[in-house]
Amino acid sequence: MIILGIETSCDETGVALYSETAGLMAHRIYSQIALHEEFGGVVPELASRDQIQKLLPLILQLLTDEEIALSDLSAIAYTAGPGLAGSLMVGACVGRSLAYALNIPAIPVNHLEAHLLAPMLEENPPTFPHLALLVSGGHCALIHVEKLGGYFIIGETQDDAVGEAFDKTARILGMPYPGGPKIATLALEGNPTRYHFPRPMTDRPGLDFSFSGIKTFAANLIHQEGSDPSTFPDIAASFQRAIIDTLVIKSRRAIQQTGLSTLVVSGGVSANQLLREELALMARDLNIELHFPRLEFCTDNGAMVAYAGFQHIKQGKKTDLTINIEPRWGMGSNLRLIHS
Ligand code: KG4
Ligand code: ZN
């Protein structure tokens, strides 16, 4: 069985082939970062127009390179949400129509579930149950993953997502979108103890997050320092340290509260080196297992969608002929919609 995975939820066009016997065969990503850089964020209309141009050639290139014929495909999995409606529509239309033409199933996949499952593509994949820390541009949540499809959110952000906080702060520092990796690089030259940023919601019980205050703190600090570029590395380092400390404090608390012995981290921010190092220290201290996706599967990609689709097929999920997108599809409704 070979599944074609299609990811077009935002500004990345990702495609992949997953085989039941051989595992992940290959994947390709086309990133639109250069297209949106000058606007300081993703422009939805430009994103969907570019997805239209890039998706089919990318699929055909992948199949040609891997010497796989369209008739070898057993199913097509596409991201149905959450994400930008126009971008999602491109993947959904292509995925659903191609599957119809080939008379094979098309599987709508939840983007968040795909991120959660990305670490399963690695050697020694995590087992269930486990605690998941999902940190992306649109989300920040602690999830008790009981089993495939059994997701219980036990903590989530009350405002900004963690990647969003990185991106917005980077923008104030004059850095182009996406700002997360750029802040992380600038922070390498800075002193993380020079400025004391808040560690929001860590001084009270609970597992929820709030990152909009940290971003505002950064904006005020930059203003107070006269927007002097020589202070930027220390601001970036202090900001990053506060975010990572907060994520580690809450993850530690969640492990202690649930008694789970495995932590699985995913989403774009899981590429952050400081987060990886600090969580590794925590895992050693608590004597728990720790899993990350490889760096290229932290951010959006087709491989995680193909894998999620494969799991749904294996579980006997049935789909119809509707071209379905759910731009605001959450993890809670994921339980009902995908695993009903
Ligand atoms: O998972 P993703 O590709 O898209 C969403 O589903 O949202 O995550 C993208 C986010 C962006 O906000 C980006 O700035 C952030 O992940 N990011 C990072 C790093 N690499 C990507 N944030 C901090 N440090 C990084 N190394
Ligand atoms: Zn994503």
294-327 pLDDT, tens digit per residue, is: 999 999 999 999 999 999 999 988 888 988 899 9
187 domain-assigned: yes
AA letter at 98: L
Query: What does the buried/exposed string (b/e) look like for 249-270 if buried means 16 or more CB atoms within 10 Å of the residue's CB?
Result: ebbbbbbebbebebbbbbbbbb
Q: Are residues 132 and 262 in the same domain?
A: yes
122 domain-assigned: no
Q: For strands 75-81 and 106-110, give the pairing.
A: parallel
The CATH number of the domain where 58 resides is what? 3.30.420.40
> Is there an atom of ligand 1 within 6 Å of 269 CB?
yes
- Indicate the number of domains in the chain: 2
> Is there an atom of ligand 1 within 6 Å of 238 CB?
no
263 domain-assigned: yes
User: Cα of 121 to ligand 2 centre, how many Å?
Assistant: 16
Q: Are residues 314 and 200 in the same domain?
A: no
pTM: 0.95
200 domain-assigned: yes
338 domain-assigned: no
pLDDT digits (tens, 9 = 90+) for 186-242: 999 999 999 999 999 999 999 999 999 999 999 999 999 999 999 999 999 999 999
How far apart CA 88 and CA 211 sit, in angstroms, is 27
User: Cα of 263 to ligand 2 centre, how many Å?
Assistant: 19
pLDDT digits (tens, 9 = 90+) for 31-79: 998 899 888 889 999 999 999 999 999 999 999 999 999 999 999 999 9
Q: Are residues 66 and 215 in the same domain?
A: no
Q: Are residues 34 and 106 in the same domain?
A: yes
Q: Are residues 50 and 138 in the same domain?
A: no
231 domain-assigned: yes
Q: Are residues 194 and 89 in the same domain?
A: no
**Predicted pLDDT of residue 340:** 27
If you average pLDDT over every residue of the chain, what do you get? Answer: 94
47 domain-assigned: yes
Answer yes or no: is pLDDT of 275 > 60.
yes
Q: Are residues 189 and 286 in the same domain?
A: yes
> Is there an atom of ligand 1 within 6 Å of 163 CB?
yes
Q: Are residues 132 and 280 in the same domain?
A: yes
* Domain region containing 50: 2-116+297-331
Q: Which-ligand-closest: CA of 305? A: 2
State the CB neighbour count (10 A cutoff) for residue 323. 16
Q: Are residues 131 and 238 in the same domain?
A: yes
**Predicted pLDDT of residue 335:** 40
User: Cα of 115 to ligand 2 centre, how many Å?
Assistant: 7
Q: Are residues 142 and 248 in the same domain?
A: yes
> Is there an atom of ligand 1 within 6 Å of 135 CB?
no
Q: Are residues 136 and 272 in the same domain?
A: yes
